[in-house]
Amino acid sequence: MLKFIVKLHPEIAIKSKSVRKRFTKVLEKNIKMLLVRVDENVKVKNNWDNISVTSELSDEKTRLVLIDHLKRTPGIVQFIEVQETQFDTLDDIYQQTIALVEPLIKGKTFCVRVKRQGKHEFTSSDVERYVGGGLNQNVEGASVRLKKPDVTVKIEVKDNKAYIVRHQHFGLGGFPLPTQEDVLSLVSGGFDSGVATYQMMRKGARTHFLFFNLGGAAHEIGVKQVSHYLWKQFSSTHKVKFITIDFEPVVAEILENIESGQMGVVLKRMMMRAGAVVAERLGIPALVTGESIGQVSSQTLANLNVIDRVTEMLILRPLIQHDKEEIIRIARAIGTNEMAEAMPEYCGVISQKPTVKAQLHKILAEEEKFDFDVLNTVVANATVKDIRDIEAEAKEEVKEAESVSELPDNAVVLDIRSPEEEDANPLELDGAQVIHLPFFRLATKFGDLPQDKEYYLYCSKGVMSQLQALILHENGYANVKVYRP
């Protein structure tokens, strides 16, 4: 049997009784919804100060999957994996403890720490002394050390049950979904928007996706994959929408009519206008962006001030003070970094000397030259999909990028990993030629290769190679496949 005890987020525990009850009930429901996919008979119980999870299955595969789900559930800061036992005497607790921890403390220093709830004839210290003394006497090479021991044996006693802690795990923190209101995240597939979206999910906001397509079918496929991944990893207890707006006509109108230095700010204002319209239609009260102060020219305080004035809708920027290095670190932790690295940059407009101190009256004067029928038309033609349909749709769209696990004789494999990855783990294949061509040079250098051959793209997980293959196909190169050993 597998048993976990989910500890409440401290911010939930200090809320009023009614709010705490609502939050824990939502979290209980979300945990149940996720874990029944693994064990249809799993038991999830709200105990007011914690939530217990019990599965009659005990195999290692099930254990690891349950742990993975709990680690990715918003609202869980930590949870412990325990051995549950009923007891009548202190010796009952000791016998269960030694059976479990003897291999862990043999030849090591240890201490015993006990938390107790309920009415007992003994104190927590009594349990610590009894169990610790028994372990000290009966486990070969083990010795008590109260400060900085090799192993801390943790036991929780509640009424007539003892819970011997096998492992402690840490989760996302935040609040359960959807204890906050819905938000609409402007996603591009890059590092920033992916991390910003994750941060809102983690804070308990049901997060929908809005994509402004500036780069054609390959760009859309890539962003759909990133969005679906984020939803499936951190938000799959609740369905959300994925909205696509073809923004190329808007970009063309800006390039033709707006003064070069003002184009970046005008483009962002058009996106906020469109986002606000879509959000209002869907009853969503806030937009989310991945902007960070000073990261690019449009993200100065002066420019953000002018951008925000285009709408009365709340615009949230969870990354506003994050450094790029920190954003990339979070992307790596949540698993979006490889997809973000593979995503081509689609800037939309590139100004020679973009303004960093936009003035509202100048921007308004420039926007008078803009044909707003173009914006209204692309917003009216926006496509709205259920995020759950993206996976099946993506599988259909990526059929053109064929994957192989076995290579033909004399195959040419393009290792598109970064130089650091390639140096750390060089790719060596018998009977195949391996060319190292990093993904960030692929678009400009692939055309220089002999085009009478087929090429097999390789990366560590297959995600980046699939995206790059689709982009090359979009650019007319049909002689590309994906190698996934």
Q: Give catalytic residue positions.
A: 459
Which stretch of DSSP H or E encloses residue 80?
strand 76-86
DSSP assignment of 270-303: HHHHHHHHHHHHHT--EEE----TTSSGGGSHHH
Side-chain half-sphere of 93: how many Cα atoms within 13 Å? 29
Residue 364 backbone phi and psi in degrees, to 5 = -65, -40
- Hey, what are 254's tokens? 């800006």
* Terminal Cα distance for the chain, rounded: 36
Rounded distance, CA 156 to CA 143, Å? Answer: 22
One-letter-per-residue 3-state SS of 396-460: HHHHHCCEECCCCCCEEEEECCCHHHHHHCCCCCCCEEEEECCHHHHHHHHHHCCCCCCEEEECC
> CB–CB of 104/183 below 8 Å?
no
- Picking from 295, 277, 276, 294, the residue whose alpha carbon sits closest to that of residue 286 is 276
CA angle 189, 190, 193 (to 5 degrees): 80
Q: Are 165 and 82 in contact (CB under 8 A)?
A: yes
Cα dist from 373 to 60, 123, 221, 380, 433, whole Å: 59, 75, 27, 10, 54
